[in-house]
Amino acid sequence: MGEMMRQSLVVGNWKMNGTLASAESLVKGIIAGLGSNTAEIAVCVPYVYISGVSELVKGSRLALGAQNIADKASGAYTGEISAAMLSEFGCKYALVGHSERRTYYGDTNESVAARFAQAIAQGIIPVLCVGETLEQREQDQTIAVVNEQLDAVINLTGIAAFDKAVIAYEPVWAIGTGRTASDEQAQEVHQHIRQYIAVKDAVIAEKIQILYGGSAKPDNAKGLFAMPDIDGGLIGGASLEAESFLKIYHSV
Ligand code: 13P
C-alpha cells in the first residue's frame, strides 16, 4: 500500500512560450526520449498548439493538456475555451488555478472551483494548483491558504470528484525564481494535503497524485520525487527543452 499504489506523473507547463516550429520539435523530442519508463507524462501547451500537438502525440504515451479551462460550459464568453472543446482534441488534463492565473488574470477560489467542475463534467482531469506566497509562508499561513484553496473546490464538487483529479502544490515563491522548496518543505505540505483529503475520503487520499511545482530542475527532481507524498512534478522552465524535461521525467 502507501505510495506504491500511485502511478508517478510528470507534467510540463509551457506557459506562454514557443512557436509552431519549436512546439513540434519539442513534442517529437520528448516522444523520442520516453524509453521504457512507465510513469505518466503530459505537456500543457498554449491553446493554439493543442490541435497540432494532439496529432503529434497520437500513438505515444505522451498525454496532452491545456493550461486553463473556462468556468462555464458554453455561451457568450468571448475569448474563453470550454472543456468540451478541449475534450474534442483529446486533452487528458487541464491546469486549473495556476498561480499566474490567480495573480494576473483574476482567477478566484470560486472561479477555480467552477473550472475544476467543468473539467470533471467533460472527463478531463483537472490539475488543481495550490500554494502560498512568500508573505503568506512567512506569516505561517501556508496550511490555511492551501486549505482554503482546496475547500473552495471540495465545497462545490464534493470530495468524490477528486477521484479523477490531480493536485499540484506550487509555492508561489518557488515559481520561476530558481528558489525551489527543499524536499522536506515540499513533503510537509504534500503530506498535509493528503491528510486533509483523507479526513474526507481515505481511499481517494491514498490514490490521488500530488505533484510538486516550482523551480523543479534535473538536479533537484530526484530528491523531491523520493519524498513519500510527492508523486511527480509540474515543470515550467525546465519543460521547454526535451533534454531537461526528459531528465526530470526519468528521475521520477
Ligand atoms: P518553473 O518550473 O518555471 O518554476 O514553473 C513552475 C510552474 O509554475 C509550473 O506550473
- pLDDT value, residue 98: 98
Instruction: Determine the pLDDT at residue 4.
Output: 55
Q: Domain spans of the chain?
A: 2-249
From residue 147, alpha-carbon distances to 127, 169, 197, 234 in Å are: 16, 12, 10, 20
> How far is ligand 1, taken at its centre, from the CA of residue 91, in Å?
20
Residues in a beta bridge with 42: 11, 63
In one letter, which amino acid is 123?
A: G
Give the three-state DSSP class for 210. Answer: strand
> Of 98, 100, 132, 190, which one is the catalytic site residue?
98
pLDDT of residue 5: 75
The single residue of 40, 100, 132, 170 carrying the catalytic annotation is: 170
Note the pLDDT of residue 1: 42
Q: Is the pTM of this model over 0.75?
A: yes
Return the pLDDT at 3: 47
The CATH number assigned to the domain with range 2-249 reads 3.20.20.70
Question: Which stretches in the chain have pLDDT values below 70?
Answer: 1-4
